[in-house]
Amino acid sequence: MFSERLTRPARACSLKYGRGKEARRERALNQDITARAENVCKYYGSVVALDGVSLELRRGEITGLLGPNGSGKSTLIKLLMGFMRPDHGRVVVLGQDPYDNPAVRARVGYVPEELALYEALTPKEFFDLVARIRRLRPEDYEERLSFLARSLGLWDRMDDLIGSLSRGNKQKVAIIASLLHEPELLLLDEPLTGLDPVVARITKEILYDMRDRGASVLFSTHILELAEAICDRIVILHRGRVVAEGTVEEVLELAKEKSLEEVFLEVTGKAHEVYEVVKALKGGA
Amino acid sequence: MLELRLHNTLALVGVLYREQLYLSLKATSPGLRPDKLARAVRHAKARYIALSFFVALGVLMTALSPLVVATTSEEEIALTDALRASGFLYTTMAFTMTFMLCAWSTFIAQEHGLLRPLSSLPLGQEDLRLLALLTAINNALPVAITPPIYGALVAYLAQAPLAGLAAAIYGYASTFFALAISLALAALLAKRRSGQSFRARLARALRTFIFVFCMGLFFVVSQASRFLLPLLSQMTGPLGVAARSLWFAYPFSAAEAPLLLSGSSLGQQGLMALCLAGAYLGLSYAVFSRAFTRYWHGIVAPTVVTLETARPRARLRAPSRLTMRPVLGILIKDMKLAYRDPRTAYLLFMPLFMLIMIVPTVLADEVSVLAMSTFMGMAIIMLPSGACQLLVAEGDKFWALFSSGLRKKELALGKALVSSLAYAAYALPIGLGLACLTGSWDCLAFLAASTLVAFAASATATRYLARHVGPETKMVQLTVARGLAILGIAFAFQIPFTLVSMWLGPAGAMIAALAEAGLTLLILSAR
């Protein structure tokens, strides 16, 4: 099967190492891994959101999570945040179960897909709230916030009510709030929606910076070019299963396709559907 | 632009009502299964008819009860008193119900941009205005059918057709006044004042003040009437006409007009009362019309008014190190939000309304332990509900708190602190003032003790409710069972405290309060 050929087992244990060596290697690997999902299943009633998903996020890597609507991307991110418990399988974030140990979220940054912010607060007041909850040192916070607000172009809007900001500026507020504490793991659900090209570019640079500092970044997106451009690894989800995983080059090479878009359409079974629609459109014209 | 026909207009109003229902159900019951939600929306028309029936029946039965008792009871109850009571009850009920139902519609319309999709359709301005009006008032329409029914029943029971006419006119006047205030407040909410300048802050403060004042207006008037009525009776002698002229002021005039017209012939006073009723009806309609125009402009084009141009900042200043704690973060945020959103501002002002009630009692007599215990018991029961309301007001923003690593006990303590501090901010100065005026410190001791117990009860109640929230919570549901549990928690704190207070006086109250608050903090910090 095409999708099976592309899927790489998340944790391939080699038998050539001895017991002690294997344990040492496992420890080293664990130090390198910030988050791990092992054979995770999640159901919403009779709907299967995730079906045996395994995934590892490593330090110093940006991982792109791709998939059509309803493929389980947001559910996987919420499980990694510990917002819900998997029905089957295990989730470990920074060495702990995030559902049972919510304190681990203090080391994680998160931007949700649907933004619900306090509209009657100003961005500055919202960041103050986040800083208080995260117990940041005032001087570190001040410096970090100044840098992020200037970089993302929110500096002049810091005293306006969030309710008066555009969708793009609200997105900036959420991104800055997720970066204030320099997280070790950053989980972003469609983070670049609504951002103008300049800010999107700056955000990418900030993600690179996070990666260079040794953080893991996982972000879901529909923009395939973006994933192709900035991700070290990509994971394609379809109907709650991982149908492709690896570096962009590996995925392209294994699929023997020219672009990530074609790979995406192939592994999600949408290629035929698109072909039919295009044919109908051309026929109609 | 197309002009809508009547049946199309009604069909569109029906669609918008279903949408309102759907949005409110989604907001209040996020866990509702899709099939149940679809069923509820499908039966929107039946629901509307049933709701209308019960609202109208409730208003009429409540308002007519004094008259029914006066005319059927074997006991001697003066018809004049019954007419006056019934008139005042009806005015209050019609006003309050209309205000609440209209406020609900305008809230949904504003929060979810209910009319925005219509603006892209090829509809005339008049059609859109009509739709906006009907959408805003459709829930209040059941109250609008009660004035003729109430008028007819008053005429029948009092055997005075003109009294019934006056009652009906005042019914409509009350409805229009309530609609006007509700729409004007909705328009006020649509304009957000942004910025940190003194002018912007002043504008926000004024908006909140107007909203809370209007919300409390009828409560204040009805409370004041309790004190004013006997006072007026005493003043009628020495002041004569001046005092009597107060009866011409709405809402007192609504209670007096049927009385003046209950005689067999229409005298000069009766004629004046009838003219006055007509004048109030005209005035209320004019106010309503003006308020609707403001609402229309606000709802169709919600605006953010920036009262200053953004000044380039030199630097961002971090908050004080002392405040960098999660509990204080929640406290500061909630204080700001409650103050800025007029719909929750009442939580900050509610303790003031409560505390004002004890001032005359304390000033009239020396501090009675029984009276103080009763009052403090009320505060201890009310404040946890206020704190829990703050959790409900959090809406769908729990993700922002929990994704930052906030713990549930910190959330609970923060919310409890908000309501307790709002109470303490009034209770302690009022207690101090009363101590200076009466020369006794008992009142201050009781109020300080009640602050501590209210905090303990609030913290326990919010901790209980916080068990049911998580990052994915869209809105906390205050079900009957949870409401009863919160009430139970409040009583568990109130009863021992009241007993000790009554037994040992102010010193005992303080000891009991310190013990309860200390124990609560110990348990909460241990978990």
pLDDT of A282 higher than 90: no
Q: Which residue of A has its CA nearest to B474?
A: A116
For strand A47-58 and strand A108-111, is the pairing parallel, antiparallel, or unpaired?
A: unpaired
pLDDT band with cut points at 50, 70 and 90 for residue A183: very high
Q: Residue A27's pLDDT is what?
A: 57
Nearest to A132 among B306, B312, B329 (CB): B329
Of A35, A45, A92, A86, nearest to A65 by C-alpha is A35
pLDDT band with cut points at 50, 70 and 90 for residue A191: confident
Q: Residue B286's pLDDT is what?
A: 95
Contact yes or no for B400 and A118 at CB 8 A: yes
Contacts of A75 in chain B (CB under 8 A): none
- Taking the C-alpha atoms of residue B330 and residue B390, their distance in angstroms, rounded to an integer, is 11
Contact yes or no for B315 and A142 at CB 8 A: yes
Mean pLDDT in residue range A210-237: 85
- Taking the C-alpha atoms of residue B183 and residue B191, their distance in angstroms, rounded to an integer, is 13
CA distance to B66, B73, B260, B263, B506, per residue, from B164 (Å): 15, 21, 11, 12, 54
Contact yes or no for A160 and B194 at CB 8 A: yes
Of B296, B230, B255, B210, nearest to B84 by C-alpha is B255
Lowest-pLDDT range of A17-26, A246-255, B192-201, B345-354: A17-26
Q: Residue B106's pLDDT is what?
A: 82
Q: Residue A127's pLDDT is what?
A: 94
Q: Residue B1's pLDDT is what?
A: 47
Q: Residue B305's pLDDT is what?
A: 47
- Taking the C-alpha atoms of residue B77 and residue B67, their distance in angstroms, rounded to an integer, is 9
Model pLDDT for residues A83-134, shown as the tens digit of each residue = 999 999 999 999 899 998 888 898 999 999 888 888 888 899 999 999 999 9
b/e sequence B414-446, b meaning 16+ C-beta within 10 Å: bbbbbbbbbbbebbeebbeebbeebeebbbbbb
- The predicted complex's ipTM stands at 0.79
Contact yes or no for B196 and A159 at CB 8 A: yes
Q: How far is A125 from chain B (nearest CA, A)?
A: 8
Model pLDDT for residues A141-157, shown as the tens digit of each residue = 999 999 999 888 888 88
Mean pLDDT in residue range A162-166: 82
Contact yes or no for A118 and B397 at CB 8 A: yes
Q: Residue B333's pLDDT is what?
A: 93
Q: Residue A7's pLDDT is what?
A: 38
Q: Residue B169's pLDDT is what?
A: 93
Q: Residue B58's pLDDT is what?
A: 86
Lowest-pLDDT range of A50-64, A187-201, B210-224: B210-224
Tell me whether B226 touches chain A (CB under 8 Å).
no
- Segment-wise mean pLDDT, segments of 10 residues, chain B, 527 residues: 67 82 71 73 79 87 82 69 82 84 80 73 77 85 90 87 90 92 78 62 67 64 58 55 64 81 75 89 93 80 48 73 92 88 74 77 71 80 87 88 92 93 91 86 88 93 91 82 91 89 85 91 81
Nearest to A158 among B316, B319, B397 (CB): B316
Of B102, B98, B91, B96, nearest to B150 by C-alpha is B91
